[in-house]
Amino acid sequence: MKLSLLVFFILLNSIFYSQVIKDEYKEVLLKSGDRIYSKALTKNKNLSSRELFYASLVYLSFEKETDRIDYLIDIADTMQDKDKNSRTYGNFKWYLSETIIKDYNANEFCMQAGLIIWIKYKDRLSASSKTKLFNMIVSSADFSMRRYVKESYTNIALMNVENLILAGEILNNKEILNEGYSRLKNIIFYLYNYGIHEYVSPTYYGVDLDCLGILYAFTKNSEIKLLTKKLIDLFWLDIIVNFHETSQKLSGTTSRTYDYLRNLGYLDKYLYHYGFLKEKPGLNESYVFFNFIDITPSSQLLTFNTYPRLIKEHWGIKKDEARTNYLLHDIALSTSSSTYHTMDVPLSIDIKGDRASTRFYFIPDGRDDPYGKTKIQESAHMKALHLTPFWTAVQEKGEALALVVYREKDLPKDFKTLKSHIVMPLDFDFVWINNRELKVNKNDKFDFKLKVNDSLLFRKENVFYGVKVILAKDFDDGNCPISFLYDKNKYNAARLTVDHYKQDKGNYKPNAAFFVKIGTELEKDFNSFKKEFIEAKAQINYKNSSIDIKMKTHDSLLEISAKKPFYSSSYLNPKPVNSVLEINGHDKGRELLADISFLKDFTMQYTNVIELGNDLYIEAEDGMILYPMIISNDKNASNNKYVWMPGKVQSIGNSDIGSISFKLKNKKGQKYAIWAKILTPAKEDDSFFLNIFTDNEVLIDNDEWHTGIHLNWEWVRINLKNTGKTFFEFPEGDIYLEFKAREDGAKIDKIFITTDIINSLKN
């Protein structure tokens, strides 16, 4: 294994150049402050509340233009909701032009800089600004307390914790401080069991490091400081092992990116500051945080930056929420075995070269936007969003198999296009379709037609990669047109496109499957690579209700099975890992967190096994309960007790770890209906997640149960949103039934499991 020279350069940077780099930021930061102040003077409609706090912090930290602080604080004060009867009391408008609050995260972003201003510079503020800032902190903390951010919303959950803890210390308020500490422990429990949900994001890993760096720098609590350092090390380790030195970027699949073509983002400021990048990225006002934080990655973490390396990591509660990244020195292949959301990249190849060049990636497209450049409205912001079809993939080192299925719910209303794109760099030296070398003019458009199982192969210097479409179906189960083309775009991007669209739509679900392989001359010569790739054939058992694919190659066996309604995969080989961060077969991520003492308090242990019969009633409080779900009292509930995640009616909050679960023993396989006695007082408080699984099989994977509003305790039969299940087939043996908090305020008293799947609830 080759140790990267990156280690040497980062250590050299931390010793000799960190202050020089900080000094270079000063001019840019002050110019940013002036730009924001000018926007404030002109009442620019795009002035954000966050910018006002950033500019104030810049001026105070460099002791420049401090006479402008009062004006900036005054405007920030007008953008905060002061109505104590308002649902958004304490939060801020994101933009000055907004008449109502649209973004529930604005409060957290504002207070990152606002709390630093108070901690470091409160004595430099005028009496008026000091009073206003203090009151803003009080109101903001109130909003953060009322809003429980689920642990999987990684960057905002960390920011919420950071702000609660620091506000609690500033205000000397133990309730706020303890709540922040409790939520920090919940995040750590989630990370330890499920991994980082907003995984390997070139944008949000930078935000995560902001949150952790600020908390580490300013908390007075030694225990919180130690826990924060653990998380800093975890995120740095994930960044280090996924950073690809020769392409100069965070490599592999990602949960959320604003840059599909290159995979660059906000994290660049940390990559540059700590010596990973050779070129300076664009600087902005957020670099002011480097005046206060120092989270240099340790030399021990840097030793994991070796080649080749195989990275596997789990990133969610669902069993198939995992990713793999195989990094060779000059090329890296990565897949995710489940889709994340509208901004993810579930298949990628990163190739040595200019970091600003296009990478290889998959994008499901319903808007004729293969390059992710056309933004549409999402909440308070404009973003380039793609479709969210069913997606799964498996990978064995440098080979991968992937499947995409477009369900009715995935398709936009009145859509006029539906395409599966694999975008790739035009910067190749040679390209083949099967054994035929193509002569392409890169200065003009080209469009080559392919058939299913045709091999498209590329070579660039000493690296090569191939992709073939092994399944391509439209709405009528017909084979789709497949093209390898260049549309003369300005991004130097070619693409392989499967066109699923038909004006007259049948009853089949459009789908496609791909086989992808990478290699270099260090492993084998190109002719051998090409021969093996062309000869690799898939065995496909395809029906409208199920798809089974087996790909036996020279190096591996890859298998995918998925069934209608295509909510989650039913079988994958290789199986997705349950590792926090596995590096060459060792879960270094879970190792890093394992000695945290309180994790043993969260250990999931079933105290008893309940035997199923024809009719079974179970008290909710008899299950294994994980915080923030708790037992509470109500004289109208059975045994005067029920379980819930506390929250005010119509409040905003949920949790990924709060749950009630039961271990059941089934003597024979049969069908069951499940009822629950619930109290769900509002549309914001009327749902749960449901999981049902055995030791070997996932039966229901985090499906949604929307109960409807019930103002009194009532029995309601479970009817799931995603799978449409109203009854459940339990095999013989041990069964695990789990209700998870989806909305705070939803209460559950008792569960009834019956083999009578037709008649209504028995009295």
Q: Over the stretch 667-690, which tens digit does the pLDDT of each residue have?
A: 888 999 999 999 999 999 999 999
HSE, CB side, 13 Å, CA atoms: give it for residue 126.
13
The stretch 369-378 carries a mean pLDDT of 89
Q: Report how far residue 172's alpha carbon sits from residue 169's, in angstroms, rounded to the nearest whole number.
A: 5
* Position 23 pLDDT exceeds 60: yes
Whether residue 565 is preceded by a cis peptide bond, meaning omega within 30 degrees of 0, is yes
* Position 17 pLDDT exceeds 60: no
Q: What percent of the chain has pLDDT over 90?
A: 81
Question: What is the predicted pLDDT for the residue at 407?
Answer: 93
The stretch 329-356 carries a mean pLDDT of 97
Sorted by sequence, the CB contacts under 8 Å of residue 293 that are 6+ apart come out as 213, 214, 216, 217
Question: What is the predicted pLDDT for the residue at 5?
Answer: 60
What confidence category does residue 702 fall into, taking pLDDT thresholds of 50, 70 and 90? Answer: confident
Question: How much of the chain is in helix, strand and coil states, percent to nearest 5?
Answer: 30, 30, 40
Question: What is the predicted pLDDT for the residue at 479?
Answer: 94
- Give per-residue pLDDT as tens, 519-555: 999 889 999 999 999 999 999 999 878 999 999 998 8
* Position 567 pLDDT exceeds 80: yes
What 377-382 contacts at long range (C-beta under 8 Å, 24+ apart), as own/partner pairs, is 378/342, 379/102, 379/103, 380/94, 380/95, 380/98, 380/102, 380/103, 381/94, 381/103
Average per-residue pLDDT for the chain: 93
* Position 18 pLDDT exceeds 80: no
100 to 84, 241, 522: CA distances (angstroms): 15, 43, 59
30 to 34, 125, 475, 588: CA distances (angstroms): 6, 19, 57, 41
Tokens of 222: 């030694």
Question: What is the predicted pLDDT for the residue at 195?
Answer: 97
* Position 468 pLDDT exceeds 80: yes
Give the dihedral sign, CA 572/574/579/581: negative
* 380 phi/psi in degrees, rounded to 5: -90, 5
Q: What is the DSSP letter of 705?
A: E
Question: In terms of pLDDT, which residue wins out, 243 or 648?
Answer: 243
| CB-count burial class (<10 Å; 0-12, 13-18, 19+) for 760 | exposed
SS3 assignment, position 680: strand
Tokens of 676: 């629950």
Number of helices (H) and strands (E) in the chain: give both, helices first: 14, 41
Tokens of 500: 């699923």
What confidence category does residue 499 fall into, taking pLDDT thresholds of 50, 70 and 90? Answer: very high
Look up tokens 């200019």; give the residue.
354
54: nearest Cα among 25, 24, 82, 81? 25
* Position 423 pLDDT exceeds 60: yes
* Position 360 pLDDT exceeds 60: yes
- Give per-residue pLDDT as tens, 197-237: 999 999 999 999 999 999 999 999 999 999 999 999 999 99
Question: What is the predicted pLDDT for the residue at 733?
Answer: 92
Tokens of 456: 């498209």
Q: What percent of the chain has pLDDT over 70?
A: 96
Sorted by sequence, the CB contacts under 8 Å of residue 527 that are 6+ apart come out as none
Question: What is the predicted pLDDT for the residue at 21?
Answer: 54
What confidence category does residue 763 fall into, taking pLDDT thresholds of 50, 70 and 90? Answer: very low
Tokens of 620: 């909710």
Regarding beta strands 309-314 and 306-307, do their DSSP bridges make them parallel or antiparallel, or are they unpaired? unpaired
Model's pTM, two decimal places?
Answer: 0.90
CA-based angle 593:594:595, to the nearest 5?
Answer: 100
If one counts every other C-beta atom within 10 angstroms of the C-beta of residue 97, the result is 11
Question: What is the predicted pLDDT for the residue at 1?
Answer: 45
* Position 90 pLDDT exceeds 80: yes
200: nearest Cα among 158, 273, 263? 263
